[in-house]
Amino acid sequence: MINQERLINVFMEYVQIDSETKNEKAISKRIINDLKDLGYEPYTDEAGKKLNSNGNNVYCFIPGTNQSESMLFSAHMDTVTPGNGIVPYIDGNYIKSKGDTILGGDDKAGITAIIEALRTIKENNLPHRPIEIVFTICEEGGVNGVKEVEFSKLTSKKGIVLDSGGSPGKIIIEAPGQTRIFAEITGKPSHAGVSPEKGISAITVAAEAVTNMNLLRIDSETTANIGTFKAVGATNIVSPLVEIVAEARSRSTEKLKLQTDHMVKCLQDACDKYGAALEYNIEYCYLSYAFDSEDEHIKQIESVCEKLGLEAEKIPSGGGSDANVFNLNGIKAVNVGAGMELAHTTDEQLNINDFINASKFVFELMTI
């Protein structure tokens, strides 16, 4: 029953609305208008003020017409960069971007799939469960928007987040927690040609610290990476300052702590060795979640996949999403695929078949 042509057309319209992180106002306005056109009463919070964004989280609560329990459906409105001036086009079974930009399927595919399912229900006057919609801001770069969600107003105990690649049959039953380390190493400046021995090179200290770290793939559950290593200065001055931003991820809370502590210790040991000073801050972005493969929510998702002829694949993920925070707040939220491929790159594309199936998947769950 999903109107495939309309689904694709709306997606093409959505991705042409610039919405890089902290610039979600325009896309949220369009989504609100679309929900109002369906006769619903969406509203927003004030998350943008706390996150320095011009947008806010968008909510829509739709009373049920059958006896099924309430379910949450969620996706995020922001995109990574470069996400301005997107020009989408259809190439066979894919939607791509013509320019040197991302496509924005992450996560406007998820949003569009949800909106189309609601349209289909409304125009056919179909019975449905109580539905709660949350579209978040500032997901990219730390799932910050969902942390400001008004959880006291949500009643659903189960949810679906459409923010993964591939088919909706790709069911993320495990996702990692993440920490970020913001560090400054302060050395001692000195003239590099006259008296370098009187200086303490922050670059030398930082380089040794990073060299001593276990990074990238640590084990099957754990990764770590240095995202920023910044030192700006003249070549005739022993560098006095280095800034480092790093992350650790693990599906094991214990391993996440051990990896984070290890990275901080490497920084401190190098500073102690050379007499440099270390200042750091650890940001706990989100915690991991894991579902038993026999969980009732997972079983229902699998049954919908079977009905749609989709292969259900229960897999772990190396990336976090809003689902991590929903789970932390008592909502069993599972992240599933919405057709995105090569997300966060200028080669990003959307598999149209998977995208259509994502909307069908949402529709089936809403009408059970």
The residues, any chain, with a CB within 8 Å of residue 309's CB and separated by 6 or more, are none
Provide mean pLDDT across the span 92-105. Answer: 96
Binding residue numbers = 344
Residue pLDDT, tens place only, 133-163: 999 999 998 899 999 999 999 999 999 999 9
pLDDT, tens digit (0-9, with 9 covering 90-100), for 19-49 = 999 999 999 999 999 999 999 999 999 999 9
Going by the annotation, the residues of the binding site for Zn(2+) are 344
- pTM score of the predicted model: 0.90
Cα separation values, 345 from 24, 106, 127, 170, Å: 20, 11, 40, 21
User: What are the domain boundaries of the chain?
Assistant: 4-175+288-367, 177-286
Catalytic residue set: 78, 139
Give mean pLDDT, residues 208-231.
Answer: 98
Mean pLDDT along residues 190-212? 98
Q: In terms of DSSP H, where are the helices of the chain?
A: 4-15, 25-37, 47-51, 105-123, 202-211, 253-274, 296-307, 322-328, 352-367
State what percent of residues in the chain have pLDDT above 90.
99
Return the structure tokens found at 118: 């609601």
For the segment 260-296, what is each residue's pLDDT rounded down to a tens digit?
999 999 999 999 999 999 999 999 999 999 999 999 9
Instruction: Looking at 193-252, list the stretches that DSSP marks H as alpha helix, in order from N- to C-terminal side.
Output: 202-211
Please report the pLDDT score of residue 113 as a whole number. Answer: 98
List 226's β-bridge partners, or say none. 246
Contact 336, 168 (CB under 8 A): yes
Mean pLDDT of 99-117: 97
User: The domain 4-175+288-367: what is its CATH number?
Assistant: 3.40.630.10
pLDDT at position 99 is: 83
Q: How confident is the model at residue 115 (pLDDT cuts 50, 70, 90)?
A: very high
**What's the CATH number of domain 177-286, 3.40.50.2300, 3.40.50.1820, 3.40.50.300, 3.30.70.360?**
3.30.70.360
Cβ proximity of 324 and 163 under 8 Å: no
Q: In the prediction, which pLDDT does 222 show?
A: 97
